[in-house]
C-alpha cells in the first residue's frame, strides 16, 4: 500500500506538467537577457544603440545614470535576468522532484528579487523621464519585462498559499 503511494521519480516526472507560469517566466527572462545583453554589448564596445526615431537611447545610455556604483546598469540587468532564469528552472526542477520546501523558498526568492528589480527599474525610468528627459525603448522594454515577471512571481506566491 504505502509502496503504491510513494511514486517513483519517473512517475513523478511523467505526471508533472510544466506550468504556463514557468514557460512564460522563462521566455520573459530570456527576453530580458536578450535586451540587457545587447545594451551591455553596446556599452562595452562603444556602439550606437538601435533606437526608434526620435528616441534618446544613446543619451540615456551615456548619462551618469547608466552606471550604478560604477557598474553599467545593463550588466546588472543581465546578471539579474540570468539569476531569475536560473531560479525559474530550479523552481521547476524542485516542483518536478516534489521538493516543496525548496520550491517554496524559490517562490519567495523570485518574488523578492523581481520586486527589487522593479523598484530599481522604476528609479531608472524616473531618472530617464524626469532628469535626463529622454526615453530609451530598450529600457522601457526591460522595465515592462521585469514588471510582468514580478507580477507572475507575485501571483504564483499568492496562489501557493492555497496549497497549504
**Lookup: cell for 92:** 521547476
- Binding of another protein at residue 71 (CB under 8 A)? no
At residue 71, the 3 state secondary structure works out as: strand
Task: From 21-29, 31-39, 80-88, 116-124, give the range in contact with another protein by CB under 8 A.
Answer: 116-124
Alpha-carbon gap, residue 24 to 61, rounded angstroms:
28
For residue 130, the minimal CB distance to another protein (Å) is 14
- Binding of another protein at residue 93 (CB under 8 A)? no
Interface with another protein in residues 24-63 (CB under 8 A): none
**Lookup: cell for 164:** 497549504
- Binding of another protein at residue 158 (CB under 8 A)? yes
**Lookup: cell for 4:** 503504491
Alpha-carbon gap, residue 27 to 39, rounded angstroms:
18
For residue 51, the minimal CB distance to another protein (Å) is 26
Q: Please, which residues bridge with residue 71 across strands? A: 68
Task: From 24-32, 48-56, 64-72, 137-145, give the range in contact with another protein by CB under 8 A.
Answer: 64-72
**Lookup: cell for 79:** 546578471
Which DSSP category does 64 fall into? G
Binding residues for another protein (CB under 8 A)? 5-7, 11-12, 14-16, 64, 68-70, 98, 100, 108, 111-112, 115-116, 119-120, 123, 154, 157-158, 161-164
Amino acid at each position: 500500500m504505502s509502496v503504491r503511494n510513494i511514486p517513483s521519480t519517473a512517475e513523478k516526472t511523467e505526471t508533472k506538467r510544466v506550468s504556463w507560469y514557468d514557460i512564460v517566466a522563462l521566455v520573459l527572462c530570456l527576453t530580458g537577457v536578450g535586451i540587457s545583453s545587447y545594451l551591455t554589448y553596446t556599452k562595452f564596445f562603444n556602439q550606437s544603440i538601435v533606437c526608434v526615431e526620435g528616441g534618446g537611447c544613446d543619451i540615456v545610455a551615456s548619462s551618469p545614470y547608466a552606471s550604478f556604483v560604477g557598474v553599467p546598469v545593463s550588466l546588472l540587468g543581465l546578471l539579474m535576468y540570468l539569476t531569475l532564469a536560473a531560479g525559474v528552472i530550479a523552481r521547476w526542477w524542485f516542483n518536478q522532484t516534489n521538493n516543496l520546501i525548496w520550491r517554496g523558498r524559490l517562490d519567495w526568492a523570485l518574488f523578492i528579487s523581481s520586486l527589487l528589480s522593479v523598484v530599481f527599474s522604476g528609479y531608472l525610468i524616473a531618472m530617464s523621464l524626469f532628469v535626463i528627459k529622454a526615453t530609451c525603448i530598450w529600457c522601457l522594454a526591460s522595465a515592462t519585462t521585469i514588471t510582468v515577471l514580478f507580477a507572475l512571481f507575485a501571483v504564483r506566491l499568492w496562489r501557493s498559499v492555497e496549497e497549504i
